[in-house]
Amino acid sequence: MRGIAGVTVDHRLYDTADYPLAAADVAASVQTARADPRVDADRVAIWFFSGGGLLLADWLRMPPGWLRCAAVTYPLLAPLPGWTVDPRFRPTEAVDMAGALPIVLTRVGRERPPVADTVEAFVAAARTCEARLDVVDVPHGRHGFDMIDHTDESRKAIEHAFGAVLAELT
């Protein structure tokens, strides 16, 4: 037992127009989790995967004091070409407002080029504004590596990312 609780959110992100709805679902779920008496409401991390990475923008733009860390794994960090997405969901544009919020980003080496481009743009923006960014690289990993690539490299990346997030909570 490490003294942590995990919550998986079933948000309603089914289409690019659904990002505001999904963001509201995530925010409500975080509020519900923080209200649980078994949870330390002042030590919270959020973690987004894949297309949910765009939801990170709100948390970067105005990180609450109780948010100790934000993590993203094989994320999409900008809308893909041709997508119509509310402009508020652009983490690359919001990272300069993250302040001291630690960000753990797990990126895969075998990502689809359009998605990898959004990650590289985010990393460049984070480095420019000197954000607290911890990049966990999985050179041979694919999108979804944590579920499909049962390798030592994958296990080590998961342990590193989880350890980095946990370190911010303790």
State the pLDDT at residue 169: 92
Angstrom distance (rounded) from CA 167 to CA 162: 8
- The bridge status of strand 102-108 relative to strand 44-49 is unpaired
Q: Is the pLDDT of residue 1 over 70?
A: no
121, part of any domain: yes
H-type alpha helices, the chain = 19-35, 56-61, 91-94, 113-128, 145-148, 152-169
The answer to the question of residue 28 being in a domain is: no
The tally of domains found in the chain comes to 1
Asked, for residue 22, whether it belongs to a domain, the answer is no
Whether the per-residue pLDDT at 126 is higher than 80: the answer is: yes
Dmax over CA atoms of the chain, in Å, equals 45
Integer Cα distance of 141 and 138 in angstroms: 5
4: pLDDT confidence band, cut at 50, 70 and 90? confident
Q: How many whole angstroms separate alpha carbon 103 and alpha carbon 112? A: 22
Q: Output the DSSP codes for 4-42.
A: -----------SGGGHHHHHHHHHHHHHHHHHSTTS-TT
135 part of a folded domain? yes
What is the average pLDDT score of the chain?
A: 95
> What pLDDT does residue 35 have?
96
Q: How confident is the model at residue 8 (pLDDT cuts 50, 70, 90)?
A: confident
What CATH code is carried by the domain that includes residue 120?
3.40.50.1820
For residues 9 and 59, the model is more confident at 59
Q: Is residue 79 part of a domain?
A: yes
Q: Show the tokens assigned to 27.
A: 């925010």
Span 32-59, average pLDDT: 96
Read off the pLDDT of each residue in 11-38 and give the average, rounded to a whole number: 95
Give the pLDDT of residue 6.
82
The pLDDT value given to residue 2: 59
Q: Is residue 33 part of a domain?
A: no
DSSP lists the bridge partners of residue 107 as 137
Arithmetic mean of pLDDT, 72-80: 97
In a domain, 119, yes or no: yes
C-alpha distances out from residue 142 to 8, 114, 129, 137, Å: 22, 14, 28, 11
Residue 3, domain member (yes or no): no
How far is residue 137's CA from residue 159's CA, in Å, rounded to a whole number?
Answer: 12
At 107 the pLDDT is 97
Does the pLDDT of residue 75 top 60, yes or no?
Answer: yes
Structural domain boundaries enclosing 108: 41-169
